[in-house]
Amino acid sequence: MNSFRSNFPIFFSSLFFICLLIYFIITSQSVFLIIIPVALLILYTSIFHTKLLFVSIAFLTPFSVNIEEYTNGVGLFIPTEPILFGLLLLFIFFQIQKKVITNNTLKHPIVLSIFVYLFSLFICSITSTSPIISFKSLLSKLWFIIPLVFLGSVYFKEKKTIRQFLFLFVFSVFLVVLYTIIHHASYNFGEQEGHWVMWPFFKDHTIYGAIIAMALPLSIGLLFSKKHDLLLKCLYGIIILVILIGLYFSYTRAAWLSVVGALFVFVFLKYKVKFKYLFITAICMLAIIFMSWDNIQMELKRNKFEHTTEEFGERIQSAANVSTDASNLERINRWECAIEMFKERPVFGFGPGTYSFEYARYQKPESLTIISTNFGNMGNAHSEYLSALSETGIIGFFSFILVVAIIFYSSIKLYLKTKDLERKTLLLFMILSLSTYFIHAFLNNFLDTDKAAVPIWGMCAMIIALEKYLPEKEKTTLRN
């Protein structure tokens, strides 16, 4: 509480400038009028309150605005990306001066897998069809990953800081969702309006739904990980309710399905279902799908459900409509393009960040839809995994899969071994939050944006810190 009071002027100033930013955007006035005072505030905070600036990223991320539409194509999320780039430079300076990251951290499986991933991106950038685009993409990955993972692994030494970061992110998402619901209500919660009412904070309803789905488990985890007074319980209850309403009215089927997938993960973890049983079940399901593929295709083609109304059941049924649903057909079109790109350059791919510039010529006339385009808008490859496959080939694809696998292996192992109830609960709901994204990642890809990158790499840092600063007894158990 004393810490909050001492930093209240900075917190209040941040809120003031966010409100000012919203005002200038809504009234269509120049957003650049507030760059100087915001830059001065950030510079002061970075020098004298680096940890505060780091934690504030969680609050600022859902409010960040892509200035691409105001700058003739220069894509940059303000204020988060400049802050992260500054923190990247500060981290390099700190590491040179006093070596803030120890060898113990550098040897952590998550960190090692990230190094492999970044090195593969570097190699694929050298061999890229557009090296400038690829190295720009790699640079953006560096300022997302390095400061969040490495500074986070230091700052998250205290569980209090973890709770602060998660709360600020969840509370900020809650405020954006509240704004969106109020805005959406003025259009009677229409589906078409539901695709853009979250603007300017989110580009469209797909990424909006994905981030809400990630925030939902975190808000529940914050509620149940610790005893709270009645006022805080009510606050968390309101946050969870508003997020649930926002999720429903996001009209994002992939987000709904990702939450259902996370519920299955919850059951597996809560009841400690052994991995070998999951593996056997998965193999059996894949075998059944393979043997019944012709029948499955016929059933899918018979599915003519389209979400002509906002009725929930109809929307779920329309998720499997690959006959007439333009959204589903366009997603398949993008997937086919990614696979064809992979076939042409299977080892190194076309280079990080190049899919939008290369996929158009791989579109087949029979696969085009009423929403098809040659300009890389309407989403990217619509799959984090196929995007990696087409842009970075086998090398980048398997390095990305390695990162995802190690994140879940490390966090689940830590969850099963740790004894502290608060740590265990936070870990459980972080795993569920990560599950929603990486399930959603089969259908969309947002890791090149701050909206997804900040919470995901931030949670990776939390997992590293929670393991690194375990009590010695639990460390011994974990090694065994």
Q: What is the mean pLDDT of each run of 10 residues along the chain (480 residues)?
A: 48 59 55 56 64 92 85 78 89 84 90 97 96 94 96 92 96 97 94 91 94 97 92 95 96 92 91 74 70 56 52 52 66 90 96 92 83 70 93 96 95 91 94 96 92 97 90 59
Phi, psi of 65 (to 5 degrees): -125, 130
Q: Which residue has the tokens 């113990």?
A: 104
Q: How far is CA 383 from the centre of its chain?
A: 13
User: What tokens appear for 132 in the block?
Assistant: 């400038």
Question: Residue 314: its pLDDT value, please?
Answer: 54
User: What tokens appear for 325 in the block?
Assistant: 């649903």
User: What tokens appear for 259 in the block?
Assistant: 């939450």
Q: What's the rounded Cα separation, in Å, for the pair 298 and 282?
A: 23
- Helix spans in 354-471 (H): 355-358, 384-417, 421-440, 450-468
Question: Residue 127: its pLDDT value, please?
Answer: 96
The answer to whether the CB of 383 falls within 8 A of the CB of 355 is no
Question: Residue 133: its pLDDT value, please?
Answer: 93
Question: Residue 231: its pLDDT value, please?
Answer: 93
Please report the sign of the dihedral spanned by the C-alpha atoms of residue 447, residue 448, residue 454, residue 458: positive
> 10 Å Cβ neighbour count for 394?
15
**Cβ contacts of residue 98 below 8 Å, gap of 6+?**
none
Q: What's the rounded Cα separation, in Å, for the pair 465 and 470?
A: 8
Question: Residue 474: its pLDDT value, please?
Answer: 60
User: What tokens appear for 415 in the block?
Assistant: 């969850």
**Cβ contacts of residue 17 below 8 Å, gap of 6+?**
34, 37, 38, 41
Write the single-letter amino acid at 174.
Answer: F
Burial classification of residue 270, based on how many CB atoms lie within 10 Å of its CB (0-12 exposed, 13-18 middle, 19 or more buried): exposed
Q: What's the rounded Cα separation, in Å, for the pair 433 and 427?
A: 10
Question: Residue 53: its pLDDT value, please?
Answer: 87
User: What tokens appear for 471 in the block?
Assistant: 């009590």
Write the single-letter amino acid at 218.
Answer: L
Question: Residue 404: its pLDDT value, please?
Answer: 95
* CA-derived radius of gyration, the chain: 22
Question: Residue 270: its pLDDT value, please?
Answer: 85
Q: What's the rounded Cα separation, in Å, for the pair 70 and 73?
A: 8
CA distances from 339 to 129, 151, 361, 379, 443 (A): 17, 37, 13, 16, 14
Question: Residue 391: its pLDDT value, please?
Answer: 97
Q: What's the rounded Cα separation, in Å, for the pair 140 and 137?
A: 5
Q: Which residue has the tokens 């606050």?
A: 235
> 10 Å Cβ neighbour count for 366?
6
Q: What's the rounded Cα separation, in Å, for the pair 224 and 214?
A: 17
Report the DSSP beta bridge partners of residue 66: 77
| Nearest Cα residue to 149 out of 179, 193, 106 | 106
User: What tokens appear for 49 in the block?
Assistant: 């309150």
Q: What's the rounded Cα separation, in Å, for the pair 406 and 114?
A: 10
Question: Residue 35: its pLDDT value, please?
Answer: 58
The answer to whether the CB of 445 falls within 8 A of the CB of 382 is yes
The full set of domain ranges for the chain reads: 1-100
